[in-house]
Amino acid sequence: MVRLFVEVAGLKLENPLILASGVNDKTPEQWIRAHEEGAGGVVTKSIGIEPRNGYDNPTIVELPYGLINAMGLPNPGWKGFLEMVEGYTFDFPLIVSIFGGTPEEFAFLAEKLSEVANAFELNLSCPHAKGYGMEIGQRPEMVYEVVKAVKDVTDKPVIAKLTPNIDDITKLGLAAEKAGADAVAAINTLKAIAIDVYARRPILSNRVGGYSGPGVKPVALRAVYDLAKALNIPVIGIGGITTWRDALEFFLAGARALQIGTAVALRGWKVFREINEGIARYLEEEGFESIEEIVGLALE
């Protein structure tokens, strides 16, 4: 009997697929829908201290191999988030994504939201919000400070989401591990731009956005491979995972769980079920009983 159950950073997941932050994850109804459609866990939209409306439209450009988005971290703020989840109970791990401009802001949010979060994902990698995300997360010393500040105020698992927009992502992973992170997630989007040839100007209102989807998969896979070789904590793979074959490549490269975002936007909620079924079929056909048995086999 094949088992899809995994345990990552203290989180028990009925299967290894997690809804990624940034796409269909703004409301509790969407989190519940993701779980009903086959996600083992959910990451929320990134939550900050104050409400943000985000950037003006257009905020998304669809390309043949993915999306470029510059949403601007729209969110209801921590107070609005608590009001939104009031009255709900979730029978799956809820990973709350948080962002801030300083280690103190991250720690403040972790304190305020610990009652509702099963774990925290630290957004150290958004490529298009000035003063947040990647601007903080490109510096290993800041990654260390943020992770340590959050670990000092919560006993919930802490996952550092890393940017690929750096010369060597393992520097960031090692800094997160040294500060006590329970896992790292890689990658967030690649910094990108699209231009309208008739308007003769960038399409996105923010000009620069983050590229996600099938086109970034080889970059994400390489990042996971490098991190899995360098770190002793688990790596959660993200980036262009659209099919069960994609998922298996990430496991073989050392990922212990996976996040799926753009594929939901491009192919619908069915991707969770389809990928899980494909993983289970592969394991059975190849003589494995669990995902744990194949994690990192390509590293040897």
Q: Residues 6-56+70-191+212-299: name the CATH superfamily.
A: Aldolase class I (3.20.20.70)
Q: Residue 66, annotated ligand binder?
A: no
Question: What's the whole-number average pLDDT of the chain?
Answer: 93
273 SS3 class? helix
CA 207 – CA 171 distance, rounded (Å): 29
> What's the pLDDT at 85?
97
pTM recorded for the entire structure? 0.95
Strand-pair partners of 69: 60, 210
Q: For 130-163, write each residue's pLDDT tens digit.
A: 565 556 678 999 999 999 999 999 999 999 999 9
Residue 26: its pLDDT value, please? 86
87 is in an annotated binding site: no
Using DSSP's 3-state secondary structure scheme, residue 17 falls into strand
Chain segment 189-199, per-residue pLDDT in tens: 999 999 999 99
Closest CA to 41 of 224, 237, 259: 259
At 224, the pLDDT band (50, 70, 90 cuts) reads very high
Contact between 19 and 39 (Cβ < 8 Å): yes
Q: What is the pLDDT of residue 134?
A: 54
Q: Which residue matches tokens 């994504």?
A: 97
> From the candidates 42, 126, 160, 181, which is the catalytic residue?
126
The answer to whether the annotation marks 114 as part of a ligand binding site is: no
Which positions ≥6 away from 265 have C-beta within 8 Å?
Answer: 23, 24, 67
**What is the H or E stretch that residue 262 is in?**
helix 262-267
187 is in an annotated binding site: yes
118 marked among binding-site residues: no
User: Is 69 annotated among the ligand-binding residues?
Assistant: yes
Nearest to 260 by CA among 13, 2, 1, 12: 13
Helix-, strand-, coil-residue percentages of the chain, each rounded to 5: 35, 20, 40
Predicted confidence (pLDDT) per residue in 39-83, tens digit: 999 999 999 999 998 888 889 999 999 999 888 788 999 999 999
| pLDDT given for residue 135 in this prediction | 63
Annotated binding-site residue? 89 = no
CB-CB contact of 205 with 80 (8 Å): no
Percent of the chain with pLDDT over 90: 84
pLDDT at 70: 87
More confident residue, 165 or 232: 232
The sheet carrying 190-193 orders its strands as: 60-63, 66-69, 208-212, 190-193
Amino acid at 34: A
pLDDT value of residue 261 = 95
Asked whether the predicted pLDDT for residue 238 surpasses 70, the reply is: yes
45 assigned ligand-binding residue: yes
Q: Catalytic residue at 194?
A: no
At 24 the pLDDT is 79
